[in-house]
Structure 1
Amino acid sequence: MAKDAVSALAIGLSGAASLILDIAFPSFDPNTNQSKTERFRNTAIAFLKRNAFRLAFPK
Protein backbone atom coordinates (compact mmCIF):
# COMPACT_ATOMS: atom_id res chain seq x y z
CA MET A 1 0.00 0.00 0.00
CA ALA A 2 2.80 2.47 0.82
CA LYS A 3 4.47 1.97 -2.57
CA ASP A 4 1.18 2.79 -4.30
CA ALA A 5 0.80 6.00 -2.30
CA VAL A 6 4.35 7.13 -3.06
CA SER A 7 3.92 6.37 -6.74
CA ALA A 8 0.63 8.26 -6.85
CA LEU A 9 2.24 11.23 -5.11
CA ALA A 10 5.15 11.28 -7.58
CA ILE A 11 2.81 11.08 -10.57
CA GLY A 12 0.57 13.78 -9.11
CA LEU A 13 3.49 16.12 -8.46
CA SER A 14 4.80 15.55 -11.96
CA GLY A 15 1.39 16.33 -13.44
CA ALA A 16 1.00 19.46 -11.33
CA ALA A 17 4.47 20.66 -12.34
CA SER A 18 3.63 20.06 -15.99
CA LEU A 19 0.47 22.14 -15.68
CA ILE A 20 1.91 24.94 -13.56
CA LEU A 21 5.43 25.25 -14.93
CA ASP A 22 4.79 23.93 -18.46
CA ILE A 23 7.80 21.60 -18.19
CA ALA A 24 8.14 17.94 -17.17
CA PHE A 25 10.10 16.65 -14.18
CA PRO A 26 13.51 15.60 -15.54
CA SER A 27 13.10 12.13 -14.00
CA PHE A 28 9.88 11.58 -15.99
CA ASP A 29 11.22 12.98 -19.29
CA PRO A 30 12.57 10.26 -21.61
CA ASN A 31 14.61 12.83 -23.59
CA THR A 32 16.17 14.74 -20.73
CA ASN A 33 19.47 16.55 -20.95
CA GLN A 34 21.41 19.10 -18.91
CA SER A 35 19.72 22.15 -20.44
CA LYS A 36 16.22 20.77 -19.76
CA THR A 37 17.21 19.97 -16.20
CA GLU A 38 18.56 23.51 -15.68
CA ARG A 39 15.42 25.01 -17.26
CA PHE A 40 13.22 22.99 -14.88
CA ARG A 41 15.32 24.00 -11.89
CA ASN A 42 15.32 27.69 -12.78
CA THR A 43 11.59 27.73 -13.56
CA ALA A 44 10.73 25.97 -10.30
CA ILE A 45 12.91 28.33 -8.25
CA ALA A 46 11.38 31.39 -9.94
CA PHE A 47 7.88 30.04 -9.26
CA LEU A 48 8.63 29.35 -5.61
CA LYS A 49 10.24 32.75 -5.04
CA ARG A 50 7.31 34.50 -6.69
CA ASN A 51 4.77 32.71 -4.52
CA ALA A 52 6.83 33.13 -1.35
CA PHE A 53 6.97 36.88 -1.94
CA ARG A 54 3.22 37.08 -2.54
CA LEU A 55 2.41 35.08 0.59
CA ALA A 56 4.77 37.12 2.73
CA PHE A 57 3.28 40.44 1.63
CA PRO A 58 -0.49 40.09 1.12
CA LYS A 59 -2.38 42.99 -0.42
Structure 2
Amino acid sequence: MYDYENYIFDFYENQVSNMSINDIFLLKDMGLRENELAQELKIPKSYINELIYEHRKDF
Protein backbone atom coordinates (compact mmCIF):
# COMPACT_ATOMS: atom_id res chain seq x y z
CA MET A 1 0.00 0.00 0.00
CA TYR A 2 1.25 3.44 -0.93
CA ASP A 3 1.48 5.40 2.29
CA TYR A 4 0.75 9.05 2.85
CA GLU A 5 4.34 10.06 3.67
CA ASN A 6 5.64 8.65 0.39
CA TYR A 7 2.90 10.47 -1.49
CA ILE A 8 3.79 13.78 0.15
CA PHE A 9 7.52 13.26 -0.45
CA ASP A 10 6.92 12.40 -4.11
CA PHE A 11 4.73 15.47 -4.50
CA TYR A 12 7.43 17.76 -3.10
CA GLU A 13 10.08 16.05 -5.18
CA ASN A 14 8.03 16.65 -8.33
CA GLN A 15 7.71 20.32 -7.40
CA VAL A 16 11.49 20.76 -7.61
CA SER A 17 12.43 17.97 -10.02
CA ASN A 18 13.13 20.40 -12.85
CA MET A 19 15.29 22.60 -10.62
CA SER A 20 18.90 22.07 -9.79
CA ILE A 21 20.30 22.72 -6.34
CA ASN A 22 21.97 25.75 -7.92
CA ASP A 23 18.53 27.17 -8.74
CA ILE A 24 17.60 26.94 -5.08
CA PHE A 25 20.86 28.62 -4.05
CA LEU A 26 20.29 31.32 -6.69
CA LEU A 27 16.82 32.07 -5.32
CA LYS A 28 18.26 32.27 -1.81
CA ASP A 29 21.06 34.56 -3.05
CA MET A 30 18.46 36.81 -4.64
CA GLY A 31 17.16 37.46 -1.15
CA LEU A 32 14.33 34.99 -0.75
CA ARG A 33 14.31 33.77 2.82
CA GLU A 34 13.36 30.18 3.56
CA ASN A 35 9.70 31.02 4.25
CA GLU A 36 9.36 33.00 1.02
CA LEU A 37 11.22 30.33 -0.92
CA ALA A 38 8.95 27.64 0.49
CA GLN A 39 5.88 29.64 -0.52
CA GLU A 40 7.25 30.26 -4.01
CA LEU A 41 8.07 26.59 -4.57
CA LYS A 42 4.93 25.40 -2.72
CA ILE A 43 6.92 23.03 -0.54
CA PRO A 44 7.73 23.11 3.19
CA LYS A 45 10.78 24.94 4.45
CA SER A 46 11.98 21.71 6.07
CA TYR A 47 12.12 20.01 2.66
CA ILE A 48 14.21 22.86 1.23
CA ASN A 49 16.57 22.60 4.19
CA GLU A 50 16.81 18.83 3.65
CA LEU A 51 17.71 19.33 -0.04
CA ILE A 52 20.44 21.79 0.88
CA TYR A 53 21.73 19.55 3.68
CA GLU A 54 21.89 16.51 1.37
CA HIS A 55 23.72 18.55 -1.27
CA ARG A 56 26.30 19.93 1.16
CA LYS A 57 26.82 16.50 2.74
CA ASP A 58 28.18 15.26 -0.60
CA PHE A 59 31.05 17.78 -0.53
Q: Shared topology, TM-score over 0.5?
A: no
Q: Which has the higher contact order (CA 8 A, sep 6+)?
A: 2
For normalisation by structure 1, the TM-score amounts to 0.29
